[in-house]
Amino acid sequence: MSNIIWSISRIGAWLECPLKAKYKYIDKLYVEMPSEALEKGKKLHDYYDKFYDFYEEDIYDAEEKAINYLGIDEEFQKKYMMHALNFREFVILNDVIPHKRESKYYATDIDGDKWIGIIDRVDKIDDEFVKIIDYKTSEGSLNEVSKNKRIMKADGSLFIETSNYLPQLLLYAKIYELAEKEKVKEVGILFTSNQKELSSKEITQEEIDKNWEEMVEKKRQAKEAMKGPYEPKLGKYCFWCEYKDKCPLKVGFK
Ligand code: SF4
């Protein structure tokens, strides 16, 4: 058994492009990315979490107290004000104190490998079931978890695509169930840039378990990819690749 802790992003990296994954996980070439998106995501997640420390005292002061506590500067506040406003509306509409706030959960699969799920929030539905919630700071209308997309293929036939985030949420549900011995009946996403209402979906134990089996299978493929050869593999993700300057394909996305 290795000491690797598996997550959907680690598996995705190995299956998308073994060379990129090698740079990141074997060579550990951490690139100093001037990534505004990462910084935005981290600060806003901290804010959403901290908001609840003050919310119970006074909702109207909670925003200012959380901002002061985290030391969020004025420029950031102005730029991402909509996220905070949408979040406050969401909190008012869903007058529920989270059962659990941002935490890491761990589980072990049938192969003895360890997994991690970083879950933003868990709400109680009733004495038996909980709902898992993920906050996203990207724009989200096309990826709402409750909506299916109708997509037309080149031959004119239609197929239905579920939210890109559903496998991630189903994986969180399984890890949470294994770690906390509580049952998950619903998952939801809140895209704070442009939404005030949670996009949620009921899920079944069968869906959770089937997704888990698929993830474990993908992890096995990722373990195979880890053995090499570490070939570059072109894809749309090349656009965001931190290592494109090193990539022998010189794909030219800058
Ligand atoms: S640019 Fe694309 S092909 Fe090259 S390392 Fe990055 S992900 Fe792989």
17 CB less than 6 Å from ligand 1? yes
Ligand 1 centre to CA of 37 (Å) is 20
Q: Rounded CA gap, 194 and 174, in Å?
A: 29
Per-residue pLDDT of the chain (254 residues; tens, 9 = 90+): 578 999 999 999 999 999 999 999 999 887 665 567 778 889 999 999 999 988 877 878 888 999 999 999 999 889 889 999 999 899 988 888 999 999 999 999 999 999 999 999 999 999 999 999 999 988 766 667 767 666 677 777 766 666 788 999 999 999 999 999 999 999 999 999 988 888 899 999 999 999 999 999 999 999 999 998 999 999 888 888 888 888 888 765 54
Q: Rounded CA gap, 161 and 236, in Å?
A: 18
Closest among 1, 15, 2 to 219, alpha carbons compared: 15
Third-level CATH fold of 5-240: Lambda Exonuclease; Chain A (3.90.320)
Residue 252: predicted pLDDT: 55
Residue 116: predicted pLDDT: 97
249 CB less than 6 Å from ligand 1? yes
238 CB less than 6 Å from ligand 1? yes
Within 13 Å of residue 158, how many CA atoms lie on the same side as its CB? 4
- Termini Cα distance of the chain: 39
Closest among 81, 105, 164, 172 to 134, alpha carbons compared: 172
Q: Rounded CA gap, 33 and 173, in Å?
A: 31
Ligand 1 centre to CA of 11 (Å) is 15
Residue 240: predicted pLDDT: 80
Question: H or E segment at 158?
Answer: strand 158-161
Residue 34: predicted pLDDT: 55
Ligand 1 centre to CA of 15 (Å) is 12
Q: What is the model's pTM?
A: 0.89
Residue 33: predicted pLDDT: 59
Residue 151: predicted pLDDT: 67
Q: Rounded CA gap, 132 and 200, in Å?
A: 9
233 CB less than 6 Å from ligand 1? yes
Helix axes 36-55, 81-93, angle to 10 degrees: 40
Residue 58: predicted pLDDT: 81
Closest among 138, 141, 167 to 38, alpha carbons compared: 138
